[in-house]
């Protein structure tokens, strides 16, 4: 990166690494073409514009509890309060910020994650007006949620039936498996949004998809502009990250570390009889402080947030930052983690689990009284 900085950080046209990076990413993430952006926000924004442009329709279907960046069209039903969210099978669109135009919020069609029958029923009502269906294939803004068998396949079939563009927001998942969520689940969307890990700490995102869609992104048809898109610094960081660090072998190592961390958590939770669900996959996972599996936003709301913070703080006190901050986040193992790191993490959790066990027993007594 020092070398890149000394050669210049912005030229206003493609830099030498842009072609090789695009080629690597198209192959790795199974897309025909892609365009570089700067952040997940502007990439998902562009994916929504693409869907509207190629279908000539207005509405975007999104899932309750999924986050797609801080832009207006998708700032809907991200973490809605129970009182505002209505029927779980037919969630209300709830604005996630002040300052959003009601007309825009109303273009969002909100569906419950992992409930295919309800999603199909809602989509059918707006079938002629849904431009795109966007989702995190593995929601990671409500901890870690597995798509249930058949859910992603069902959405693929639904998008085909109503003529909508299926968009996977892989801003998080593209870095969790070598080839992203398609590699893990075998379902191919029309458009993928990639971000976060691919830039190795520099601002880089991308929107990729089928040639039939991406080839319409030309001046005068579908606009995609940005001064810093494909800037040399981010592009070089992306090329080094994806070809030298997050290689297949590197990701496999991180996955082995992630799996042994998760299995260690599962053993400790079982031994201490904690009311905790460990949900994991790829290189990420989390501990949900709840008795039933978290499958969507409504079940995430049953998570005991206070107990999660107790766990997090107790881990910090033992010198371990166990994951990103908040029960809606998750851990991610990296190419740099070693077995010694995993052992140290699990030793700390063993200790913390003992405290949690006593706290749980005391709470049970209080509840019994
Ligand atoms: C799934 C998902 N999509 C989009 C975004 C937005 O990305 P950015 O923060 O780079 O704008 C995020 C950020 O956390 C995300 O988790």
pLDDT in tens, 117-172: 999 999 999 999 999 999 999 999 999 999 999 999 999 999 999 999 999 999 99
Say which residues have a Cβ less than 8 Å from residue 220's Cβ, sequence separation at least 6: none
* Of residues 169, 173, 225, 167, the one with CA closest to residue 198: 173
Q: In a mutational test of the pocket of ligand 1, which residue from 38, 39, 40 has the highest number of ligand atoms less than 8 Å from its CB? A: 40
Per residue in 78-129, pLDDT tens? 999 999 999 999 999 999 999 999 999 999 999 999 999 999 999 999 999 9
- For residue 184, what are its two tokens? 């893990």
Radius of gyration (Cα) for the chain, nearest Å? 21
Which residues participate in catalysis according to the annotation? 67, 169, 196
CA distance 250 to 233: 23
Measured CA to CA, the distance from residue 155 to residue 134 in angstroms comes to 10
Mean pLDDT of 177-187: 96
- φ and ψ at 267, to 5 degrees? -60, -45
Q: How far is CA 368 from CA 106, 292, 354, 361, in A?
A: 45, 21, 21, 11
| CA-nearest residue, atom 13 of ligand 1 | 69
How far is 251 from 254, CA to CA, in rounded Å? 5
Q: What is the pLDDT of residue 60?
A: 98
pLDDT recorded at residue 318: 98
Whether 276 has a pLDDT exceeding 90, the answer reads yes
Residues 318-354: pLDDT tens digits?
Answer: 999 999 999 999 999 999 999 999 999 999 999 999 9
Beta strands in 95-178 (DSSP E): 108-111, 130-135, 165-170
pLDDT at 101: 96
Rounded Cα distance, 223 and 48, in Å: 12
Residue whose entry in the numeric block shows the structure tokens 């562009």? 46
Cα 11 to ligand 1 centre (Å): 27
Q: Identify the pLDDT of residue 46.
A: 98
What is the DSSP code (8-state) at residue 186? -
3-state secondary structure 258-321: HHHHHHHHHHHHHHCCCCCEEEEECCEEEEECCCCCCCCHHHHCCCCHHHHHHHHHHHHHCCCC
Q: Ligand 1 centroid to 38 CA: how many Å?
A: 11
* pLDDT of 14 over the 90 cut: no
C-alpha 200/C-alpha 119 separation (Å) is 36
**Ligand 1 pocket residues where CB is under 6 Å:** 39-41, 44, 67-69, 136, 141, 169, 171-172, 195
The upper half-sphere exposure of residue 219, i.e. CA atoms within 13 Å in the direction of its Cβ, equals 1
Establish how many alpha carbons lie within 13 A of residue 316's alpha carbon, considering only the half-sphere containing its beta carbon. Answer: 9
What is the pLDDT, as a whole number, of residue 362?
A: 86
Q: Is the pLDDT of residue 265 over 90?
A: yes
Report domain extents, the chain. 2-245, 248-368
Q: Which residue has the tokens 């690597």?
A: 24
Rounded to the nearest angstrom, the distance between the alpha carbon of 67 and the centre of ligand 1 is 7
Q: Quick one: CATH architecture of 2-245?
A: 3-Layer(aba) Sandwich (3.40)
Strand, helix or coil for residue 152: helix
- Same CATH topology for 2-245 and 248-368? no
Say whether pLDDT at 12 is over 90. Answer: no
pLDDT at 217 over 90: yes
Supply the CATH classification number for the domain 248-368.
Answer: 3.90.1150.10
Give the ligand 1 atom nearest the CA of 66.
1
What is the Å distance from ligand 1's center to 352 Cα?
Answer: 31
38-94 pLDDT, tens per residue?
Answer: 999 999 999 999 999 999 999 999 999 999 999 899 999 999 999 999 999 999 999
Q: How many Å separate Cα 87 from the centre of its chain? A: 25
Give residue-wise pLDDT tens across range 347-356. 999 999 999 9
State the average pLDDT for the chain: 96
What share of the chain in percent tops pLDDT 70?
Answer: 100
319 close to 313: Cβ distance less than 8 angstroms: no
pLDDT in tens, 358-368: 988 888 888 88
Pocket test for ligand 1, best of 67, 199, 234 (most atoms within 8 A of CB): 67
């Amino acid at each position: 990166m020092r070398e890149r900085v000394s050669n210049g950080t912005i030229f206003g046209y493609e830099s030498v690494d842009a072609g090789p990076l695009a080629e690597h990413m198209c192959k790795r993430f199974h897309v025909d073409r892609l365009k570089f952006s700067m952040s997940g926000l502007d990439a998902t924004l562009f994916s929504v514009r693409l869907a509207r442009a190629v279908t000539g329709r207005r509405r975007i279907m999104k899932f309750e509890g999924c986050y797609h960046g801080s832009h207006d069209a998708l700032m809907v039903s991200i973490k809605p309060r129970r009182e505002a969210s209505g029927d779980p099978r037919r969630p209300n669109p709830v604005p996630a910020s002040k300052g959003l135009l009601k007309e825009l919020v109303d273009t969002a069609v909100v569906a419950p994650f992992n409930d295919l029958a309800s999603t199909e029923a809602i989509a059918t009502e707006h079938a002629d007006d849904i431009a795109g269906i966007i989702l995190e294939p593995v929601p990671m803004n409500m901890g870690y949620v597995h798509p249930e068998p058949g859910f992603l396949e069902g959405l693929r079939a639904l998008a085909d039936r109503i003529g909508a563009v299926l968009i996977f927001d892989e801003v998080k998942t593209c870095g969790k498996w070598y080839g992203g969520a398609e590699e893990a689940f075998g379902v191919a969307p029309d458009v993928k949004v990639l971000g976060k890990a691919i830039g190795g700490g520099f601002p880089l995102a991308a929107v990729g998809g089928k040639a039939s869609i991406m080839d319409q992104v030309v001046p005068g048809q579908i606009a995609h502009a940005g001064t810093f898109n494909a800037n040399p610094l981010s592009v070089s960081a992306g090329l080094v990250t994806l070809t030298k660090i997050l290689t297949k072998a590197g990701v496999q190592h991180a996955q082995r570390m992630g799996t042994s961390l998760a299995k260690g958590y599962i053993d400790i939770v079982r031994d201490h009889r904690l009311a905790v669900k460990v949900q994991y996959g790829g290189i990420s996972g989390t501990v949900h402080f709840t008795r039933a599996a978290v499958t969507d936003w409504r079940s995430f709301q049953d998570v005991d947030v206070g107990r999660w913070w107790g766990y997090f703080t107790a881990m910090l006190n033992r010198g371990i930052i166990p994951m990103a901050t908040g029960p809606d986040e998750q851990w991610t193992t990296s190419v740099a983690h070693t077995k010694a790191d995993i052992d140290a993490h699990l030793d700390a959790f063993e200790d913390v689990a003992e405290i949690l066990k006593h706290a749980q027993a005391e709470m049970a007594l209080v509840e019994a009284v």
